[in-house]
């Protein structure tokens, strides 16, 4: 299980535009269609990564906790499905159902969206403010598979709270760590 860190896209970067198919609804959506009134969380995930499997329940809880507060939540999978068929759109639909993901889970077949975000790993978190500027990118928390630290979502939750309540982030943002995106 190789550890790949986030590339840490520059804060203030505008959210890249995209239009991708949602594997939950079969509809295509843009960032504009899915963004929240207070901000938008974009998470790059996939179906088989042990890091994603470790945190998926916390991601779903965060989505459920914050969507009602005006945070849009978008998951994107960009892995090469030729080499990793377990990340195909059909399997994404099953993964979403099994893990109670009721927010859009988009398929980035060309990998252009992952490149536009400078995404590097799964999971990779990007939180944008209500003006579509990058406010936070980094880890969910310090928990990793088999490190014994319980999941809390503390880093991401603190960032979302700061965004919603118009506070600045005091701590340095730590990169997320996970499996590398499976590039073509």
Per-position DSSP letters for 108-158, written without gaps between them: -TTSHHHHHHT--EESEEEEEETTSBEEEEE-S-S--TTS-PPP--HHHHH
pLDDT on residue 169: 85
pTM more than 0.85:
yes
Is residue 108 a contact partner of residue 20, using CB atoms and an 8 Å limit? yes
Lowest mean pLDDT among 15-24, 27-36, 89-98, 141-150: 141-150
Positive/negative CA dihedral, 165, 166, 168, 169? positive
At 172, the pLDDT band (50, 70, 90 cuts) reads confident
| pLDDT over 90 (residue 124) | yes
pLDDT on residue 14: 98
User: Exposed, middle or buried, 169 (CB in 10 Å: 0-12/13-18/19+)?
Assistant: middle
User: Mean pLDDT over all residues of the chain?
Assistant: 95
Alpha-carbon separation of residue 100 from 16, 30, 67, 81 (angstroms): 27, 22, 15, 22
Q: Show the domains of the chain with their CATH numbers.
A: 4-10+19-180 (3.40.30.10)
Return the closest-CA partner of residue 76 out of 58, 97, 100, 96: 96
How much of the chain exceeds pLDDT 90, in percent? 94
| pLDDT over 60 (residue 179) | yes
- State pLDDT tens for residues 52-73: 999 999 999 999 999 999 999 9
């Amino acid at each position: 299980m190789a550890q790949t860190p986030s590339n840490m896209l520059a804060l203030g970067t505008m959210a890249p535009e995209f239009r991708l198919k949602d594997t939950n609804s079969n509809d295509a959506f843009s960032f504009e269609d899915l963004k929240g009134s207070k901000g938008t969380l974009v998470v790059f995930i996939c179906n088989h990564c042990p890091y994603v499997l470790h945190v998926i329940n916390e991601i779903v809880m965060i989505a459920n906790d914050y969507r009602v507060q005006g945070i849009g939540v978008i998951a994107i999978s960009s892995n090469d499905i030729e080499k990793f068929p377990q990340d195909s759109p059909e399997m994404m639909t099953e993964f979403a159902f099994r893990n109670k993901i009721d927010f859009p889970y988009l398929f980035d077949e060309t990998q252009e969206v992952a490149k536009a975000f400078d995404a590097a790993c799964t999971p990779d978190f990007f939180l944008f403010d209500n003006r579509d500027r990058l406010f936070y990118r980094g880890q969910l928390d310090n928990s990793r598979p088999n490190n014994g630290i319980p999941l809390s979502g503390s880093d991401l939750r603190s960032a979302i709270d700061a965004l919603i309540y118009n506070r600045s982030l005091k701590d340095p943002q730590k990169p997320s760590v996970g499996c590398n995106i499976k590039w073509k």
